[in-house]
Structure 1
């Protein structure tokens, strides 16, 4: 018999979140971000579920896009990091991919490869994150050069570094830089990731790029979008024991019982992607209530205090995160973010898809 730890992916919730996103973005097109294995949810299955709900897909690099093409996805596909080498350029031509251009090195690569620029070329503008992109001052000459190389059309894009905080200094600075760029070039535009969509930072852009909100794990929901968690990370209680006040639990004896206590062991650990950094008190959902994690996370097991949980037994259902417990809440207790928890799950956890 397999151990009871698994992932459940609710494709109906994914579709519902896409429909909610569609209502929020109005007439803008939706480019769904499915990079990093669809944020840990499964690249192919999620893209197939979204195929009739969105206008295109965004991936990080070429291999992800080629896989989608080979699986029959025909919608526009955007490479967010653009081409790395000549092999990527050849794949862009063969599979009819859109690409982001963020450096002069890439422009030179395209020119040397004589790549026909028949699909829209996305020009990355660095408005303040300082990872990738051209400065707003460079953007007009970059657009001109691409048109001279035969680009049929261009799309200006940027990325907010603090979209969850519309009033922050960084967001305000980026908005000013973005306005400067878009006023100097006649082009389609794209500036909104999930946080920017939810906080209406770029309401009039042509393409919206939702990611984490599609999977129901956005940091906040100030507009009451009521997004649904798509992933549920589940298990069951495998063992129980009673300990005395003063006894410790787990590696290093980090947690010490302040009273006689009942401890339940659950067969999941950092070998599955549950965060080893989870602190004592991290919530774990058991059947109908949250109980606290106690002791260090092991490779294959965690332990929780069920002293105040009436009726807990071997086989009691557990949710590590999902419909009842937000992945962001677990992340907050683990010194990380929900994105990381979703995307670092390991291959030994079985995945079940359902509608």
Structure 2
């Protein structure tokens, strides 16, 4: 029998989040970011829900090729460009756009003989300090690429590091404007945070990522405050209940000690399933629609939670580690959890929570939960990914 752990993807929520991004940046072309297998949601599964995007952006050449083989005809942007000159013929044949961020890539383009020229986004380093050319180098780089036969179209791109901070955002926008002054090429600045602040950021192309999957790109504004709906739901079951006496501890290292006699439930979900390994005591989870807290250290396959005394001894309680709750069920006082809540307590971004949790196996829903299943919500069996 498989473990009682299942990930569900709500395609209706994804469409709604895409519409929200479109609303924020109505004047720009929208490239939906689907890197890391659509943040763990599965590119093949979410592709129909992204039909209204103007294109896609990702990291992996093989994933881009797979999309073309599925007859996806719109723009596909490789956010890290290419790593070898051997990839260039495939990129040209598949009509892929690339980000160019270092001189070696330019040298490869200059030396290449391709069946058709490539669309290039020149990346400007305005403060992220990971990829891109310094502002003072941009004009020379653009001049060099504009004379390269392998380059068809040029565009300018940067990545916002601190879009939630007024000073940080202003500094990056000023650096980008100074670097690109006088260059008549379309521009792309906005990631998810920039999309929400599009009136200040602007640009011809936007690249929403984490917001499409229902997480806030800001540290202080929740997804609900921004009108976003989490797309993935991770569900499991309590597989055991232990009665703790005062001063007894739970799990590795005994970091949780019971101050009084109470019960803890053990959930079949651990860090191997995408739940944050460093989530501390008190991280929230839903059990039968009630919010409870972690008790002890998260292990590879299990997590202990404090269980209210009125829960009895049955072990098949449904537990939701992160989820969304539709409006119609809020009146039933079901708490809303996001992957960000667990990730924030572990001082991590929520992406890894989704990347691994999507691999969990499908299980039948208990009869009492079937009426809560929402339109557009689909189970995610292992074989589908």
Normalising TM by the smaller chain, what interval?
over 0.9
Q: Is the 8 A contact 2:340 2:350 kept in 1?
A: yes
Of 146-155 and 23-32, more deviation after overlay is shown by: 146-155
Task: Say what the alpha-carbon RMSD is for the aligned residues.
Answer: 2.2
2:237 aligned with 1:214, yes or no?
A: no
Specify the alignment match of 1:92 in structure 2.
91
Q: Deviations over 1:198-252 (max 9, x none)?
A: 1336543110000000000123448954111000111122221212111111122
Cα 1:28–1:17 change in 2 (3 A) is: same
Q: 1:144 & 1:162 partners in 2: Cα distance?
A: 29
Matches for 1:314-329 after TM superposition, within 5 Å: 314-323=315-324, 324-329=336-341
Specify the alignment match of 2:348 in structure 1.
336
2:183 aligned with 1:185, yes or no?
A: yes
Q: 2:14 & 2:113 partners in 1: Cα distance?
A: 40
Q: 2:283 & 2:314 partners in 1: Cα distance?
A: 20
Matches for 1:205-354 after TM superposition, within 5 Å: 205-220=203-218, 221=221, 224-307=225-308, 310=311, 313-323=314-324, 324-345=336-357, 347-350=359-362, 354=377
Q: 2:180 & 2:226 partners in 1: Cα distance?
A: 29
Specify the alignment match of 1:10 in structure 2.
10
Q: Is the 8 A contact 1:8 1:351 kept in 2?
A: no
Cα 1:54–1:86 change in 2 (3 A) is: same
Cα 1:284–1:105 change in 2 (3 A) is: same
Q: 2:46 & 2:184 partners in 1: Cα distance?
A: 34
Specify the alignment match of 2:132 in structure 1.
133
Q: Deviations over 1:274-322 (max 9, x none)?
A: 2221111111111222111101112211111113565684222211112
Cα 1:72–1:311 change in 2 (3 A) is: farther
Cα 1:224–1:26 change in 2 (3 A) is: farther
Q: SS at 1:137's partner residue?
A: helix
1:53 deviates by: 1.2
Specify the alignment match of 2:112 in structure 1.
113
Cα 1:255–1:142 change in 2 (3 A) is: same
Q: 1:308 & 1:142 partners in 2: Cα distance?
A: 67
Q: Deviations over 1:91-110 (max 9, x none)?
A: 10121100011111101001
Q: 2:338 & 2:54 partners in 1: Cα distance?
A: 28
Specify the alignment match of 2:53 in structure 1.
54
Q: Number of paired residues?
A: 352
1:152 deviates by: 2.9
TM-score, normalised with respect to structure 2: 0.85
Q: 1:282 & 1:204 partners in 2: Cα distance?
A: 37
Q: SS at 1:184's partner residue?
A: coil
Unaligned runs of 5+ in 1: none
Q: Is the 8 A contact 1:306 1:312 kept in 2?
A: no
Q: Is the 8 A contact 1:78 1:99 kept in 2?
A: yes
Specify the alignment match of 2:33 in structure 1.
33
Q: Is the 8 A contact 2:192 2:217 kept in 1?
A: no
Specify the alignment match of 1:195 in structure 2.
193
Of 7-16 and 309-318, more deviation after overlay is shown by: 309-318
